[in-house]
Amino acid sequence: MSEKRCYYEILGVERSASEEEIRKSYRQNALKYHPDRNPNDPGATAKFKEATEAFSVLSDEQKRGRYDQYGHAGLEGGVDFSGAGMGDIFSQFQDLFSEFFAGGGQTRGRRQGPRRGADLRIQERLTLKDAVLGCKREVVVRAPAICEPCNGSGATPGSQRQACATCRGAGQVSSSRGFVMFTSTCPTCQGQGSTLRDPCTKCRGAGQVEKTRKVLVTFPAGIDSNQRLRVPGQGVGAPAGGEPGDLYVDVELEPDERYERDGLDLITRFNVSFAEASLGGTLAVPLLDGTTLEVDLPAGTQPGDVLSIKGKGAPRVDGRGRGVLHVQVQVDVPRTLSARAKALLAELEEELSPQSKRATAGG
């Protein structure tokens, strides 16, 4: 077996170091070489054990005195972590590790405060118009609510809750296994620290009853499918004065007959005649807000051509700009023609064909 290193050297302190200096140095070493921070590093684990062994001696006045006078021999092998498992070390120094890694274990035995109410999640379908323009809507929520007769206490009006006999009002119970203390929620009072002597007849001691209510939700202009709104404080109420949960509204858009949506862009189709497509003109495109937008139709527009107008799409939810409105042109071809219409089209065909041939020959 290799010779043990000096405990003062391990912790990097002088022999005259105070208890606080030793404690501070050990904390630095423990944090540096802790196995959780150095996974799969045997060297760090060995240094962690070595520092822990040194601290176990130097933090004890009697052991430190024997070590200062006789060295390692003065301890008679009573402190040796070389073959100890990590669980053994943690059990020896549970309170110290709680201070280092979990805030000092100050919550042990403390009664929990009022619990927060649960969050709710619902889905709401909006028309494309409502989503693009924004709207306010009352949504129906069915969820547990505070029982009015007992005001959420669960006790019959006029009666009082009594301290839990199992945890004595702490809300938690502790049990020991060797040197280790385990703390868990009290199974009798479920962490509340008190039990009911006379349960409320309406809620049967639950403090809550199922109730349907309406919540006014503001949907911002530009909201889209698969986006979620949070409405603070409109979730499930909490008994004993706890903070209520939040309501989350998942948005889904209904299909629209005239428009499609692609992110911030809006797409619509506009039918024109062959003559309009050939000659050009102005299109009066109906918008979602009920107004119309005049869009220039270039002469010679082909079927399927898209006219894009910036700033006329859906707005961003944060109000910083809008998307693009895309108008796809569809050319109507009549299915039936009168005799005069056929004659005119034939004449037009004859007129256009030579031009087409001349243009081809000239090219």
CA distance 262 to 224: 10
Domains delineated in the chain: 7-105 (1.10.287.110), 116-148+204-254 (2.60.260.20), 259-331 (2.60.260.20)
Contact 237, 248 (CB under 8 A): no
- Cβ-based burial of 228 (10 A; exposed 0-12, middle 13-18, buried ≥19): exposed
Q: Pick out the chain residues at pLDDT < 50.
A: 1, 87-88, 91-92, 94-95, 98-99, 101-111, 363
Q: Which pLDDT value is given to residue 109?
A: 41
Q: Which pLDDT value is given to residue 23?
A: 87
- How far, in Å, are 159, 211, 215, 242, 305 from residue 239 at the CA level? 16, 15, 20, 6, 62
Q: Which of 22, 91, 79, 78 is nearest to 55 (CA)?
A: 22
Give the SS3 label for residue 100. helix
Q: Which pLDDT value is given to residue 183?
A: 76
Q: Which pLDDT value is given to residue 107?
A: 43
What is the token pair recorded at 298? 């270039």
